[in-house]
């Protein structure tokens, strides 16, 4: 990762690689104070002497080498700065994953983050985002506190537990990106959302997606007169902040968002999407097509799960293939 770090133009960073033993919280706090202008996740990647760290650093170096023409100018410096590590790592992961489905091209002066030209010659705009937590503490997800007890239990209605994630994903993930004015309205547009910075303990990706995209809540079970049970979903197209007025979600039932062709979504940390990483073994990444899209997406994404929701059916489809990176780490 030496060449990547050199592009940040801060030679001090070269001296802290593997400088903190695993479990040395005080040592890491000292590093954070000394390098307060950098994202703690970036410093953690450099400092901690863990077995997997060298391969993680090499992945970033090689990924940047391969996709530097696609990523923003001064990408290494932005990548390392406060609050940017997760969102920029998400872009790197997306470049790796999506390059299997076609060729990537940089954006022009305006537009989405980059373009994917699929095998049929169709261009798809990709806009990536990893929302930060809300500034309002009352609107943040509950995070475990192990300072007094090694066990942490959480119970309650799924809607209440997921509300902080739903609010942030809908507002700062979907809406903020959907309302940008400089997209090409003649090309499909996919918004790729990573909510890992918003999640507290855990999150149900399928619930979040069906809730804010289609207004479908918890599972319902109806027992018919013949004794046969049928399953469905609560119909709930409204969402609200605590003690605030409700507003409409169900974005993929709203014609105002026809220009959004689909959503790529995960609640997992981007570093976990390296080959055979923990994020793939958790909830992975899910793709949802907009059934009302002006420009439907026909491209196949073999490493993504998929949710299909239209007038005919609701269906969950597992990823067809295990992730194979195009980054050479040999």
Is there a single domain that holds both residue 66 and residue 93? no
- Please report which confidence band the pLDDT of residue 67 belongs to, taking 50, 70 and 90 as the band edges: very high
Residues 49, 156: one domain?
no
Task: Please list the residues that pair with 74 across neighbouring strands.
Answer: none
- Structural contact between residues 128 and 72, judged by C-beta atoms closer than 8 angstroms: no
The 3-state DSSP class for residue 327 equals coil
Residue 327 has pLDDT above 80, yes or no: yes
Q: What is the pLDDT of residue 303?
A: 98
* Among 82, 99, 123, residue at a domain's last position: 82
To the nearest 10°, report the CA torsion of 131, 261, 270, 272.
Answer: 140
Q: How many domains does the chain have?
A: 2
pTM of the model: 0.94
Task: Tell me: pLDDT of 108 over 80.
Answer: no
Q: CA-CA distance, 19 to 48, in Å (whole number)?
A: 6
pLDDT at 109 > cutoff 80? no
Give ∠ CA 280-190-196 in degrees, rounded to 5. 40
For the chain, state the CA radius of gyration: 21
Q: What is the mean pLDDT of residues 61-84?
A: 96
Indicate whether 56 and 97 sit together in one domain.
Answer: no
Strands 262-266 and 189-194: parallel
Please classify residue 85 by burial: count the beta carbons closer than 10 Å to its beta carbon, then call 0-12 exposed, 13-18 middle and 19+ buried: buried
Q: Can you give the pLDDT at residue 21? A: 92
- Could you tell me the two tokens for 22? 């695993």
* Separation between Cα atoms, residue 93 and residue 85, nearest integer Å: 12
Q: What is the mean pLDDT of the chain?
A: 94
How far from each other are the two terminal CA atoms of the chain, in whole angstroms?
15
Please say which residue of 56, 82, 108 terminates a domain: 82
Whether 68 and 205 map to the same domain: the answer is no
d(CA 172, CA 158): 21
Domain encompassing residue 96: 85-317
> How far, in Å, CA of 260 to CA of 296, rounded?
9
| pLDDT given for residue 142 in this prediction | 84
Which SS3 state, helix, strand or coil, does residue 311 take?
A: coil
Q: Is 93 in the same domain as 71?
A: no
- pLDDT for 319 equals 97
Confidence bin at 127 (pLDDT 50/70/90): very high
pLDDT in tens, 153-206: 777 889 999 999 999 999 999 999 999 889 999 999 999 999 999 998 889 999
pLDDT score, position 288: 98
At residue 90, the pLDDT reads 98
Handedness of CA 315, 127, 87, 100 (dihedral sign): positive
Q: Where are the beta strands (DSSP E) in the chain?
A: 102-106, 114-118, 123-129, 189-194, 216-223, 229-235, 238-239, 247-248, 262-266, 286-289, 305-309, 314-317
Is there a single domain that holds both residue 190 and residue 63? no
Angle between helices 40-47 and 53-67 (to 10 degrees): 120
In a domain, 217, yes or no: yes
**Tell me: the pLDDT tens digits for 135-165?**
998 899 988 777 777 777 777 889 999 999 9
| Last residue within a domain, chosen from 82, 112, 137 | 82
- Residue 156 shares a structural domain with residue 219: yes
pLDDT surpassing 90 at residue 97: yes
- CB neighbour burial string for 218-234, b if at least 16 within 10 angstroms, e if fewer: eeeeeeeeeeeeeeebe
The answer on pLDDT for 13 being more than 80 is yes
What gap in Å lies between CA 44 and CA 107, rounded to an integer? 31
Q: Which residue blocks in 133-204 are alpha helix, DSSP H?
A: 158-168, 176-178
Give the mean model confidence (pLDDT) for residues 295-318. 96
Strand 229-235 vs strand 216-223: parallel, antiparallel, or unpaired? antiparallel
């Amino acid at each position: 990762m030496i060449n990547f770090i050199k592009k940040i133009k801060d030679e001090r960073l070269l001296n802290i690689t593997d400088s903190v033993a695993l479990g040395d919280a005080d040592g890491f706090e000292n590093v954070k104070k000394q390098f307060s202008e950098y994202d703690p996740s970036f410093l953690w990647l450099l400092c901690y002497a863990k077995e997997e760290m060298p391969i993680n650093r090499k992945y970033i170096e090689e990924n940047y080498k391969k996709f530097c023409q696609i990523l923003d100018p001064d990408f290494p410096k932005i990548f390392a700065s406060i609050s940017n590590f997760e969102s920029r790592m998400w872009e790197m992961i997306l470049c790796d994953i999506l390059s299997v489905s076609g060729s990537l091209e940089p954006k022009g002066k305006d537009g989405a983050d980059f373009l994917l030209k699929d095998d049929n010659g169709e261009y798809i705009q990709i806009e990536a985002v990893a929302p930060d937590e809300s500034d309002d503490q009352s609107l943040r997800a509950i995070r475990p506190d192990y300072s007094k007890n090694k066990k942490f239990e959480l119970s309650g209605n799924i809607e209440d537990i997921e509300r902080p994630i739903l609010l942030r994903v809908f507002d700062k993930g979907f809406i903020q990106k959907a309302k940008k004015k400089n997209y090409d309205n003649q090309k499909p547009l996919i918004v790729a959302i990573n909510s890992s910075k918003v999640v507290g303990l855990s999150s149900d990706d399928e619930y979040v997606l069906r809730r804010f995209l289609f207004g479908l809540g918890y599972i319902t079970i109806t027992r018919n007169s013949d004794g046969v049970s049928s399953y469905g979903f609560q119909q709930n197209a409204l969402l609200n902040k605590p003690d605030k007025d409700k507003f409409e979600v169900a974005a993929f039932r709203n014609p105002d968002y026809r220009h959004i062709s689909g959503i790529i979504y995960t609640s997992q940390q981007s570093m976990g999407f390296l080959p055979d990483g923990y994020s793939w073994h958790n909830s992975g990444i899910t793709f949802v097509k907009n059934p009302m899209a002006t420009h439907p997406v026909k491209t196949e994404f073999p490493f993504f799960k998929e949710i299909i929701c239209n007038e005919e059916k609701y269906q969950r489809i597992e990823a067809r293939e295990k992730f194979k990176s195009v980054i050479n780490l040999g």
